[in-house]
Structure 1
Amino acid sequence: MHLLSLIRKIPIVRAVIELNTAPRKYLAFTSFNVISWQCIVGPAMVLFARTIGMPADRVGILISLLPFTTLLAVFMVPLVTRIGPKNLMLYTWLIRNLIMLPIFAMPFVIAQFGDKAGWALLITLTLGFCLARAFGAGGWLPWLHEVVPYEQRGLYFSAEAGTVQLVNVAILLSQGFFLGKSPKVEQFLVIYAVGILGGLLSLFWMARVPGGKGQKAIIRWEDFYRPYGPVLKDKTYLLFLFPAFLALSATNWFSSIYILYLRDILKLSERSILIISSSGSLFIMLTAPAWGRYSDKFGSSPAILRALLCHALLVIPFVEFIPRYPWVYYLVPILVVLITIFSAAFWTSIHRAMLNMVPENQRIPYTNLWTVTSGLALGITPIVAGQVIYHLSWFGFQISFIISSILCFISAILCYVSIKEQKDYSNPPLIEFLNPKTALTAVIEGFSISFGFSQNMTKINHEENREIPEG
């Protein structure tokens, strides 16, 4: 009993227990689904591409396929409404895993037609996987919006980040030790086999999630564009999407290139890279619930501000992190893990902010427009970064790190003033953060939130900012 009570006090376990039954089932499906994602389009995909000789510019295109294809979700409103998010996702999730089966012909293709044919096969199959996913992804957020109540959304996203990262830790560590230092093509194919199997198993758990039913309706041409009328007239939501786009791009300028940096600049082995990545996932699992509770108590804006400021400050030093300094090999893994934590904290908070600005009767068009925004940000960035690195090598990495840091600062400010939540959290005005002392306090709080000290520090700050009544 004593051991059980200790386990329940672990942040991620406590977060899952606090969720209602329906959100908990959706979380279970998501956790199994990540096995497929991590093995097929995760870091192993980038390492596989480099193993078969794919250049950095094409790797950037490969990375961009997943977010770019999500733009198709904008055309899926009538189908999501008629078929229902659940049935649509069941069909498309099955198809996307079956599409990847020809990947096992990779050794034959390379042997018979050369490396470029192997690159084409990998890009083509990944595109097919992403397209099938995109057709069903339009139902993801509306279904999630249906099963997760307003008051639990911050808790859900933090619990999701934690449990998903727990799975990530197991997968990445397994992949790292399995691949070793000089992996062969056949070893990567084993990882793809695990991903396809995991994807098929996730269908079982998806079927157990309640809700997601369709409506009997005749599909007309105007149904493909008419639902977006109210969204495009919502100035508050549109003004939120612009800084959100910048912020997503800012964090992606680092996340889309750091594996290439570790492999091509620091010359780390696949095992070391995946161990570093798994360490980041482990710490996300431990820290995400604290960020979710902070957002639920004080709002998404202050959480996003602190996460992006910390992200920006940690990325700047990478401009000088080159192999000739031996200490770089010890410091870089620590900073990568910290940046991963703040990137996940931002991701959790920005999604909470988005869902809390979505009207209940307009879930599908609102969340689809968000999918388009995030798809553009996460799709354009790796292509541009890949081109910059391909043509400028190390200088290209430096430019990417600088852009990431600058955009984080800018988007942190814009997100703080543009997010309008249903509840008034009475946060201090932005001008107060122009004070160096206040800005430094915000950065310190960003680190403290992850260690469970956020509520005490914020309480102190609110008491300091509160006016003392006369008399």
Structure 2
Amino acid sequence: MAMNEQAATPETPTNVEKLRLLPWSIASEAMNSIFSQFTYWGPPFVLFFSELGLSNTEIGFLFSLLPFFGLIAIFVNPAVARFGYKRSYVRYYTLRKFITLFLLFVPWINIRFGGRYTLLYSTIIFVLFALSRSIAITAYFPWRQEYVPDSVRGKYAATNNIVSQLTGMAAVVFAGYIVGRSDDINRFLILIAIAVIVGLISAALVTRVPGGAPVQLTQAGSRLGETLSTLRDANFRYYLLGLGLVTFANAPESTFVPLFMRREAGLTESQTILLQTGVLIGGLASTYFWGWASDRYGSKPVIHSGLYLRLLLICGWLLIPRGSVATLPIALGLAALQGVTAISWVIGAGRLLYVSVVPPERKGEYMSVYYAVLGLFGGLSQLLGGRLVDLMSGLTGEFAGITLNPFMPLFAISLLLTTLGVWLFYRVSADNDFSVVEFASMFVHGNPFSALSSVARYHYARDERAALRATTKMGITRSRLAVEELLDALQDPRFNVRFEAIIAMARLEDDPRVSAALQEIAIGNELSLTAPAIWALSRMGAANAVGTLRRGLDADFYSIRAHCARALGTLNDVQSAPLLLERLQQAANPGVDIAYASALGNLKYEPAVPAILNLWDVAETQGQRFEIGLAFARILGDERQYVRLLRSVRADLGTTIAQALTPLKSEIAEQAGLLATLTGCIDAFAGQALDHGVELLVALIGQLDPETLKPAEWLVLEKCSILLGKPVDSALEVIVLVVDLLLTTRSRLAGSDRH
């Protein structure tokens, strides 16, 4: 039976209260980022111990203590829960700042007693700091899961990281300035003293954050056993194993990459510290994007994207030039990429943990195991990483164009473990259905940068006109990144925005969510939006809308039936052809019948030819007659040729028809009767004797042998010969259709002369 947690007092804060007080958490984290950059997690701290003469192994040992003490989380969690997550965090978070003060005496110990006692004294400080930090973080994780609402978790993480990155960037610039001013060890002590002051301010700010009340624990069995029972959760096990491998691969970055850049790449101390600015800039530039992406598309696409980028980062470290003018710019670029990958990992893995992996009712047990595993792998990576670098201190030379150095095995192991981590996170249950391939595909379709810009404009639109412009732009970008906003626009209270959203959606490639939303409108009661929704479904090629469109053929309104018929034709739904022909034969309404004919033409359904022929007698407008002619051209002739000729005859009927018929002369050169009639027809049209040209065109049809043509072709040509008795201006589509059919069947005309 699992350990149950019940809040004692005060009551659990509401989401309104949580959202109102979240800025205090962000402010506290911002101050803590300064503390971190000046001390345990910043390059100056590594350089500080390196200058004191500690070896790579000793430095790795010291920094391994910080994560290793995370193992105590599974033992102290029950006590922390009873004492209260907030109270435990604030108390031990503050205590570790006072412990850090004792680092100011490290140089004196080094001078007075030597390196051995310096390591011993530093170890004691690290142990005390790591112990208080581990207790604080054991409380922090379940407290944070409580005070950050899931609906804004990605946004909060992004905002928190942006603010922390900005303050951290300022801290790095300041640290670089202080370290670069002199070679005195006191420059590091100044940073440590400032860090303690800022850290205490951070502790004061976090007291305003709500939640974290003491809990009553009831259990049946061993507390440790109940905590370890979380490992029966297969999804949690996969997450922990992936977390462990990625942590093992990533943890040495803050410790050994600065040393690599200083010793192997040839950067100065101030330049090495400057690289941290690149890390912060990369993180800052990508934080909002990763937070937005995780809330919208889920955690796994963010995690995997970051890990794939990290593989590129490691390759960059392996190939960076040594001691050249390009070293610093390339190192800064890699540092920025490091920041991008680090933030994607923090946001993606954190959101996956809180939203999908850890059940809220057992957050204390799960989070203590999580932190213990994090500490185990993090500590091992620091300890073994430093030892590995020392063991490989004699590694030199060149292999496959890559300069060998003591840090290379460390990077190679990181490359391997990151690859394994990618595979393991595919096994973790996702918080949505988006895969990394689908996520990546959004950035190769359309214009992603313009789409993101349009999305921002949509959210900040001040009035209807601005919202319309943004909605239009989202469609023009043809990017799936704007799908969520377009779906939101369909729910907008402003009719024009909803209408524009439908038009914008029509420009996208087929998307299941968009198709479902448009189908709902297509069968809805808002008739002014029904027609554009049906058109949009056909325009975007929504094959899954066929069922909805077929049902639309029975709609009460003829206009909806017509739009559905045209859409089925556009979607090339061949199975609908018999149904469309049946409706056409019922002759319900001329406008709808023209739509049926157009759809059947799109489907190239030859059995529909006789029924479509009857429409020519009831067509009321030239546009309808043009569409009937197009249906025949699609079924029997050449659509492209028909449209091209129809465009040309509007400017010059005679010349266009004469030029189009001329190639037929070579096909029927041996048929004297046909050739004479054709030649006379061409000459008449060329001389603008249009009525005479039409008479000869009718005569030409009469000379054809029906046996050389398909029955449907002959049926259409016979009907055309009758219709050509009308004035030329009202029979343009008939003339063009006859020419189109003659050109399409010209290979069979050689034996057509019946005279």
TM-score by length of structure 1 reads 0.85
Q: Structure 1 CA distance, aligned partners of 2:348 and 2:170?
A: 25
Partner AA of 2:138 in structure 1: G
Contact residue 74 and residue 368 of structure 2 kept, 8 A: yes
Question: How far apart are residue 236 of structure 1 and its match?
Answer: 1.6
Q: 1:374 to 1:443 in 2, by over 3 A?
A: farther
Q: Are the counterparts in 1 of residues 85 and 139 from structure 2 also a CA contact under 8 Å? A: yes
Question: Does the 8 A contact of 2:92 with 2:133 survive in 1?
Answer: yes
CA contact (8 A) 1:306 1:443 kept: no
- Structure 1 372/101 Cα, relative in aligned 2: closer, same or farther at 3 Å? same
Q: CA deviation at 1:56?
A: 0.8
Partner of 1:59: 59
CA contact (8 A) 2:306 2:345 kept: yes
Q: 2:425 aligns with which of 415, 418, 430?
A: 415
- Indicate the residue corresponding to 1:39 in structure 2: 38
1:427 equivalent to 2:467? Answer: no
Could you list the per-position Cα deviations for residues 402-444 of structure 1 after superposition, in whole angstroms to 9, with x for gaps in the alignment? 22223223322321332332xxx3324x8xx6xxxx8986997
Which moved further from structure 2: 91-100 or 456-465?
456-465
Q: Distance in 1 between matches of 2:442 and 2:255?
A: 27
Cα distance in 2, alignment partners of residues 192 and 211 from structure 1: 31
2:49 and 2:70 map into 1 onto residues whose CA distance is: 22
Write the letter of the residue equivalent to 1:78.
P
Aligned to 2:295: 296
User: What is residue 347 of structure 1 aligned with on the other side?
Assistant: 346
**Partner residue, 2:282:** 283
Q: Which residue of 2 aligns with 1:215?
A: 215
Aligned pairs for 1:10-409 within 5 A:
20-43=19-42, 44-180=44-180, 183-215=183-215, 222-229=222-229, 231-323=230-322, 325-356=324-355, 357-393=357-393, 395-409=405-419
TM-aligned CA deviation for residue 337 of structure 1 = 1.5
How much has 1:72 moved relative to structure 2? 1.4
- Give the whole-Å Cα distance in 2 for the aligned partners of 1:364 and 1:329: 45
Aligned-residue offset at 1:221: 8.8
CA distance in 2, matches of 1:227, 1:114: 44
AA paired with 2:433?
S
Counterparts of 1:464 and 1:371, CA distance in 2: 43
Give, as a single letter, the amino acid of the residue that structure 2 aligns with 1:373: V
Measure the CA separation in 1 of the matches of 2:336 and 2:454: 20
* Alignment-mate amino acid for residue 398 of structure 1: M
Looking at structure 1, the residues matched to 215 and 429 of structure 2 have their Cα atoms a distance apart, in angstroms, of 32
Distance 1:133 1:93 in 2: 6
Opposite residue 413 of structure 2, the aligned amino acid is I
Residues 72-93 of structure 1: CA deviation (Å, up to 9, x unaligned)? 1111221122110111122212
In structure 2, the residue corresponding to 1:41 is in which secondary structure?
Answer: coil
- Mapped to 2, the partners of 1:454 and 1:404 lie a distance apart of 39
Q: Is the 8 A contact 2:316 2:334 kept in 1?
A: no
Answer whether contact 1:161 1:348 (CA < 8 A) is retained: no
Instruction: Give the Å deviation of 1:23.
Output: 2.7
Q: Which residue of 2 aligns with 1:12?
A: none
Q: Secondary structure at the match of 2:427?
A: helix
CA separation of 1:440 and 1:226: change in aligned 2, threshold 3 A: closer
- What amino acid sits opposite 1:413 in the alignment? W
Distance 1:411 1:355, change over 3 A: same
Q: 1:143 to 1:21 in 2, by over 3 A?
A: same
Deviation of 1:288 (Å): 0.4
Amino acid at match of 2:21: A
Listed one character per residue, the Cα deviations across residues 127-166 of structure 1 (whole Å, up to 9, x for unaligned) are 2111111122111011101101111111122222211111
Question: 1:210 is paired with a residue of what secondary structure?
Answer: coil
**2-side partners of 1:417 and 1:464: how far apart?**
28
**Counterparts of 2:106 and 2:444 in 1: how far apart (Å)?**
49
Cα pair 1:181 1:271 within 8 Å, conserved: no
Write the distance in 1 (CA, Å) between the matches of 2:345 and 2:270: 28
CA 1:58–1:135 in structure 2 vs 1: closer, same or farther (change >3 Å)?
Answer: same
Deviation at 1:50? 0.6
Aligned AA for 1:411? G
Given that 2:94 and 2:200 are in contact with CA atoms closer than 8 Å, whether structure 1 keeps it comes out as yes
- Cα distance change on mapping 1:179 and 1:240 into 2, 3 Å: same
Whole-Å separation in 2 of the counterparts to 1:322 and 1:333: 13
CA drift at 1:351: 0.7
Match of 1:5 in 2: none
Question: 2: CA distance between counterparts of 1:131 and 1:257?
Answer: 23
For 2:169, give the aligned amino acid.
V
For residues 395 and 387 of structure 1, the distance between their equivalents in structure 2, rounded to whole angstroms, comes to: 14
Amino acid at match of 2:102: P
Q: Flag structure 2 segments of 5+ consecutive residues without an equivalent.
A: 1-17, 394-403, 456-476, 484-507, 513-541, 547-572, 574-755
Query: How many Å separate the matches in 2 of 1:158 and 1:388?
Result: 35
Runs (5+) with no aligned partner, structure 1 = 1-18
Is the Cα–Cα contact under 8 Å of residues 308 and 343 in structure 1 kept in the other structure? no
SS of equivalent to 2:280: helix
Q: Aligned in 2, Cα 1:380/1:179: closer, same or farther, shift over 3 Å?
A: same
TM-score, normalised with respect to structure 2:
0.54
Query: What SS is found at the alignment partner of 1:20?
Result: helix
| Distance (whole Å) between structure 2 residues aligned to residue 115 and residue 132 of structure 1 | 26
Q: Distance in 1 between the 2:83 and 2:276 partners? A: 38
| Sequence identity percentage | 22
1:10 alignment counterpart: none
What CA distance in whole angstroms lies between the structure 2 residues aligned with 1:220 and 1:419? 29
Partner residue in 1 for 2:536 = none
Q: Which has the higher helix share?
A: 1
CA distance in 2, matches of 1:156, 1:416: 25
Deviations 1:81-120 (A, max 9, x none): 2110111122212221222233222232122212332233
Higher relative contact order (CA 8 A, sep 6+): 1
Q: Do the aligned partners of 2:60 and 2:387 also contact (CA within 8 Å) in 1? A: yes
> How many aligned residue pairs are there?
439
Q: In structure 2, do the counterparts of structure 1 residues 215 and 396 end up closer, same or farther at CA, with 3 Å as the change threshold? A: same
The structure-2 alpha-carbon separation of the partners of 1:35 and 1:330, relative to structure 1 and needing over 3 Å to count, comes to: closer
Task: Give the direction of change, closer, same or farther, for the CA distance of 1:302–1:59 in structure 2 (3 Å limit).
Answer: same
Q: CA deviation at 1:454?
A: 12
Contact 2:299 2:430 (C-alpha < 8 Å) held by counterparts = no
Which whole-Å deviations, capped at 9, do the CAs of 1:225-256 have from their partners, x for residues lacking one? 42442x12222221222122222223335444
Distance 2:253 2:287 in 1: 20
Give the C-alpha shift of residue 175 in structure 1: 0.7
Residues 418, 201 of structure 1: alpha-carbon distance in 2 compared, 3 angstrom cutoff: same
Structure 2: how far apart are the matches of 1:306 and 1:137?
27
